Amino acid sequence: MKIIMLGAPGAGKGTQAKMLADKYEIPHISTGDIFRANIKNETELGKKAKEYMDKGLLVPDELTVNLVVDRIKQDDCSKGYILDGFPRTIPQAEALDKALSDLNDKLDYAINVEVPDENIVKRMSGRRACVGCGATYHIVHIPTKVEGICDRCGKELILRDDDKPETVEKRLKVYHEQTQPLIDYYQGKGILKEVDGTVDMKEVFDAIVNILEA
Nearest-angstrom CA–CA distance, 103 and 91: 19
Residue 139 has phi, psi (to 5 degrees) of -60, -25
Q: Which of 102, 111, 46 is nearest to 82 (CA)?
A: 111
Q: Which of 2, 71, 127, 193 is catalytic?
A: 127
DSSP 144-192: -SSTTB-TTT-PBEE--GGGSHHHHHHHHHHHHHHTHHHHHHHHHHT-E
* Catalytic residue list contains 71: no
104 in helix, strand or coil? Answer: coil
Q: Which of 2, 13, 128, 193 is catalytic?
A: 13
Q: Which of 88, 123, 128, 193 is catalytic?
A: 88
Q: What are 192's strand-pairing partners? A: 110
Q: Which of 48, 50, 155, 160 is catalytic?
A: 160
Nearest-angstrom CA–CA distance, 31 and 68: 7
* Catalytic residue list contains 36: no
Q: What is the largest CA-CA distance in the chain?
A: 55
Nearest-angstrom CA–CA distance, 131 and 11: 24
DSSP 85: S
CA 162 distance to own-chain centroid: 15
Residues labelled catalytic: 13, 88, 127, 160, 171
